[in-house]
Amino acid sequence: MTAPPASTGPDRRDREADDAWHWRDGLLLGRLRGAPILLAPSWLIIAALITVSYGSIATDAVPGLSRTGGHLVAFAFAVLFAASILLHELGHAFVADALNLRVRKVVIFLLGGVSEIDPARRPRDEFLVAAAGPLVSFAIALMLWAVRPLAATDSVAAVLIWLMLWSNVSVAIFNILPGLPLDGGRVLRSAVWGATRSRSLATRVGAWGGRVLAVALLAGAVALQMSGRASSLLLATSVVLAGFLWFTASASLGESRLEAGIDRLEIGPLVRPVIWAPAGTTLTAAFDSARHHQVDAIVVTDAVGAPSAIVDDEQVARLPSEHWAYVDVRDVAAPIAPSAVLADSLRGEDLLAAMRAAPALDYLVVGRNREPLGVVRSRDVAAALDQARAPRRAPARPAP
């Protein structure tokens, strides 16, 4: 199972905070490219339940096995099952890493495992990351089926093989159910996203699928309990799992509102008109021209008239105004890197991806024929994104 992080596009401080580990987070099993792999304390609860519940299965299947021995076999199954869940999650993580999606952490906990991965930027990537986990579980089950004849009948090895085989089949089947946050929900989301080109709509479909699954799981458990075909433990587990599905699916609905804002984000309304200041122009002359043309963005041009830098407002603000007449605009301008040139056709996730790839305060915006059109500022994009998250608002305009 995969989950999005709390925020996207982190800066270096976010990365350092994510990579930090404290013992309260759980047992640190290792790292994947810096991302911690954790065994949460809540896993001890499910390990204890498995040890108590499955001990009798082992004693019934293995002649002469004591009650204590049965519990030891059950605990060994709990550990092996956790290891198989970890492999399931690492399947997600390795595919995400191969697709250049940042893996923030992998956690094994009470209800299974979760990989916290940055959102996919394409439906194909979403599908590949989601499908990797169940495929790993099915592969483990197939390998166990293949080695099953090697274990002696009525042996501890045979019991562990059967328990691991069917548990991995169950994990794979449960995870491919079409509802978020399950892997099947993300496969469903990738299909709807690819068909409609709307990630927010796809997330809403997957989230409602998760809610339906939660209700169906709870209703089925109650029905089995009332008919006497389910234990109280099964009912309690189903209630906890249904609650988990419901609340995480509801969180995905909130995520869809953010995605809707991203879908509505366009660069065109955010482009600021500029004045062009040849190299050697004084700051006073440049700002006089900007005030005359009622613009507040200044682009420095080189000897052939091509844009070469954008005047940095923060640097200008640190200079006393009486010194402006002696300052060349080049001295307070940030060079325009090739990666900081954005096409005016960019929108949505493509725009954010381009900005994440080349973090800057200001970007030069060009038209279809690479003609300069103006400047867009990071703070304007952030403000527009915040405004676009709320429906039925007027499009954001650049603030002076």
Domain boundaries, the chain: 2-258, 268-389
Evaluate whether 70 touches 138 at the Cβ level (below 8 Å).
no
Evaluate whether 310 touches 329 at the Cβ level (below 8 Å).
no
Side-chain half-sphere of 182: how many Cα atoms within 13 Å? 27
- Tally the residues of the chain: 400
Q: Provide φ and ψ at 39, rounded to 5°.
A: -110, 105
Q: Which pLDDT tens digits describe the chain residue by residue (400 residues)?
A: 777 765 444 344 444 445 565 667 789 999 998 899 999 999 999 999 999 989 999 999 999 999 999 999 999 999 999 999 999 999 999 999 999 999 999 999 998 999 999 989 899 999 999 999 999 999 999 999 999 999 988 899 999 999 999 999 999 999 999 999 999 999 999 999 999 988 899 999 999 999 999 999 999 988 888 888 867 777 888 888 999 999 999 999 988 887 887 888 889 899 999 999 999 999 999 999 999 999 889 999 998 889 999 999 888 889 998 889 999 999 999 999 998 999 999 888 888 888 988 899 999 999 988 899 999 999 999 888 877 666 554 444 444 4
Q: Report the relative pairing of strands 307-311 and 103-109 from DSSP bridges.
A: unpaired
CA-to-CA distance for 286 and 310, rounded, in angstroms? 12
Question: 59: Cβ–Cβ under 8 A, 6 or more apart, which residues?
Answer: 65, 66, 67, 69, 70
Full-model pTM: 0.75
Q: What is the pLDDT of residues 298-338, one digit of tens each?
A: 999 998 889 999 999 888 889 998 889 999 999 999 999 99
**Cα-based torsion angle of the residue sequence 200, 205, 211, 216 in order, rounded to the nearest 10 degrees:** -170
CA-to-CA distance for 167 and 82, rounded, in angstroms? 11
Q: In what order do the strands lie in the sheet with 372-377?
A: 341-343, 362-366, 372-377
Q: In what order do the strands lie in the sheet with 307-311?
A: 274-278, 297-301, 307-311, 333-335
CA-to-CA distance for 363 and 314, rounded, in angstroms? 15
CATH of domain 268-389: 3.10.580.10
CA-to-CA distance for 333 and 329, rounded, in angstroms? 6
CA-to-CA distance for 336 and 356, rounded, in angstroms? 16
